[in-house]
Structure 1
Amino acid sequence: MNFISTAALAMAMSTDAFAAAIGKGTALQKPRWSEALRTGAIFGVIEAITPLAGWALGLAAVNTVKAWDHWIAFALLGALGLHMVIAGLRADPAESEAAKPTRHSFARLALTGFATSIDAMAVGVGLAFIDVNIVPVAAAIGFATFVMVTLGVMLGRVMGAVVGKRAEIIGGVVLFGVGAAILYEHLAAV
């Protein structure tokens, strides 16, 4: 793969994580750059590891990964999104901005990062068939995701300030929408 195709692939793999990061940013109380960088690093590392894992699965698991990746992503993102919507609906409208958390748990970020990176695992499996050096491709995907997620969290901060106390509902709808879009793309391609 040349530089341009690697960069295009990296950007394509990071778009789901970017949308999820906006939702994560809206659910936080004025996220700082340190939290955005932390979130970006968690997503970026996971997004870099999954194509390596897909590469390792190789020929033996290609049909299994491709057959289920969209359903797994939809279930994980849908559940996280639904949880955020329910939490937002339960929130008292009189609650202040201070009631929002200042950071997400590592487990929640890792789960969301994994859900948005399952397609990168399938890409890794596919790249194993065409004899591509997976390490620079995985590094590019991880770096692009790191940048996009960091920016997404900060964009979510702005959106959270604009939409007010119901930002968590919007963030949950965004996560659910990302999962539904992944599912639709894979089902429509069949």
Structure 2
Amino acid sequence: MSLIEIILVGIGLSMDAVAVSMSNGMVYGTLPRRKWPLAPLFFGLFQGLMPLLGFFTGTLFAKYIDCYAELLILLILGFIGGKMIYDGFKGDKEKAEERVLSLKLIFFQAVATSIDAFAVGIGFCAINVNIFFASSLIAATTFILSSLSFCIGRKFGDLLGNKAEIFGGTILVILAIKAIL
């Protein structure tokens, strides 16, 4: 597998993380600058870790993960997005100022957006690929794209004001529904 092909796989895998990062940027745009890299770092780490796990576990657990992957994504992103929409419609200004992008939330977002990377790792078993190089490149690609999308999301969040949380939550719910279609 060539360098370009691995980068394209990384871009494809990172699209869910990019969408979630953009939503995070819209909703949690007031996050201090030093904390901005947290979510992209988690997304990159999990997008890089999952192909490794998939590669080394091979097909041993693949059928179980594949059976429940869509449901897990639906539940996690659907719940987070639904809560964001609910909070957005509440429209409580104090609530908006209290919003915190917690490590727990970032963790669940990272897991939900990287489950498909596990299956890619299983696929890498069948071809001649340096899994450590591929996983590192996928992680770096996801980190870069997620960082950029967070910044773009911040700009949209500034434009949308209080509606950013509703819009961001809607994006997450759409991703959750897309997972089961």
Which residue does the alignment assign to 2:168? 171
Q: What is the TM-score when the length of structure 1 is the normalising length?
A: 0.88
In angstroms, what is the RMSD of aligned CA positions?
1.8
1:172–1:85 CA distance, 2 compared to 1 (3 A): same
Q: Deviation digits for residues 17-55 of structure 1, max 9, x if unmatched?
A: 000111111111434543332221111111111111111
Which residue does the alignment assign to 1:162? 159
* Aligned partner of residue 129 in structure 2, secondary structure: coil
Which residue does the alignment assign to 2:3? 3
Measure, in 1, the Cα distance between the counterparts of 2:77 and 2:35: 21
Q: Where do residues 1-190 of structure 1 align in structure 2 (5 Å cutoff)?
A: 1-92=1-92, 95=93, 99=97, 101=99, 103-184=100-181
Measure, in 2, the Cα distance between the counterparts of 1:29 and 1:115: 22
1:146–1:31 CA distance, 2 compared to 1 (3 A): same
Do the aligned residues in 2 keep the contact of 1:77 with 1:115 (CA within 8 Å)? yes
* Aligned partner of residue 28 in structure 2, secondary structure: coil
- Aligned-pair CA distance for 1:67: 2.4
1:147–1:32 CA distance, 2 compared to 1 (3 A): farther
* Aligned partner of residue 142 in structure 1, secondary structure: helix
- Paired amino acid for 1:138: S
- Aligned-pair CA distance for 1:96: 6.8
Measure, in 1, the Cα distance between the counterparts of 2:10 and 2:122: 15
The structure 1 segments of at least 4 consecutive aligned residues displaced by more than 4 Å after TM superposition are: none
Measure, in 1, the Cα distance between the counterparts of 2:113 and 2:77: 8
Q: What is the TM-score when the length of structure 2 is the normalising length?
A: 0.92
Gaps spanning 5+ residues in structure 1: where? 185-190
Tell which deviates more after alignment, 48-57 or 113-122. 48-57
Measure, in 2, the Cα distance between the counterparts of 1:32 and 1:12: 29
* Aligned partner of residue 59 in structure 2, secondary structure: helix
- The sequence identity of aligned pairs, in percent, is 27
1:9–1:29 CA distance, 2 compared to 1 (3 A): closer
Gaps spanning 5+ residues in structure 2: where? none
1:21–1:29 CA distance, 2 compared to 1 (3 A): closer
